């Protein structure tokens, strides 16, 4: 089993990491942790070098991955870490396909009703793009 967990450093994504570890404990397999950074607007790159933008994404991605990596390490599981930039749903779906993930496990914020519609949802975006089964952890 290969599980991909998109993480953002929140308690919601930490719960998803713990759930994925439980699945891997029962089945065995590989854990991939992915942080997707939002692209910076075109105007930013006029004033900031490409290298600085890349360093920013890397640093922010490392911060977002830290708690998930710590949880995996404490469970004795080596997680492969990844940082990407783009629209989360499309990036996660493509990454799942590229890594051969058998499942995407991700946390939700729990917005329902009109709040979920207005705010949108990374989980909804992933579900819309992914061909891989998605397990949402609340």
The DSSP code sequence of 38-71 is: PPPPTTHHHHS-HHHHHHHHHHHHHHHHHHHHHH
Whether the pLDDT of residue 29 is over 60: the answer is yes
User: Taking phi first (over 0 means left), then psi (-120 to 50 degrees means alpha), and beta for anything else, what does residue 64 get?
Assistant: alpha
Q: Which domains are delineated in the chain?
A: 2-137 (3.40.50.620)
Using a cut of 0.85, tell me whether the model's pTM lies above it. Answer: yes
User: Taking phi first (over 0 means left), then psi (-120 to 50 degrees means alpha), and beta for anything else, what does residue 29 get?
Assistant: left
Residues 97, 52: Cα–Cα separation, whole Å: 30
CB 4 within 8 A of CB 132: yes
Whether the pLDDT of residue 82 is over 50: the answer is yes
Which is higher by pLDDT, 3 or 43? 3
Residues 8, 43: Cα–Cα separation, whole Å: 25
């Amino acid at each position: 089993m290969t599980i991909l967990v998109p993480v953002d450093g929140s308690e919601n994504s930490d719960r998803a990491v713990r759930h994925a570890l439980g699945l891997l404990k029962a089945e065995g397999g590989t854990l991939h942790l992915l942080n997707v950074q939002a692209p910076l607007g075109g105007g930013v790159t006029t004033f900031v070098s490409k290298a600085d933008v890349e360093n920013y994404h890397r640093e922010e991605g490392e911060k977002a991955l830290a708690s998930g990596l710590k949880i995996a390490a404490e469970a004795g599981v080596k997680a492969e870490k990844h940082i990407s930039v783009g629209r989360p749903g499309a990036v996660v779906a493509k990454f799942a396909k590229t890594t051969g993930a058998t499942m995407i496990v991700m946390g939700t914020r729990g917005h329902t009703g009109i709040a979920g519609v207005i705010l949108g949802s990374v989980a909804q975006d992933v579900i819309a793009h992914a061909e891989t089964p998605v397990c949402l952890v609340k």
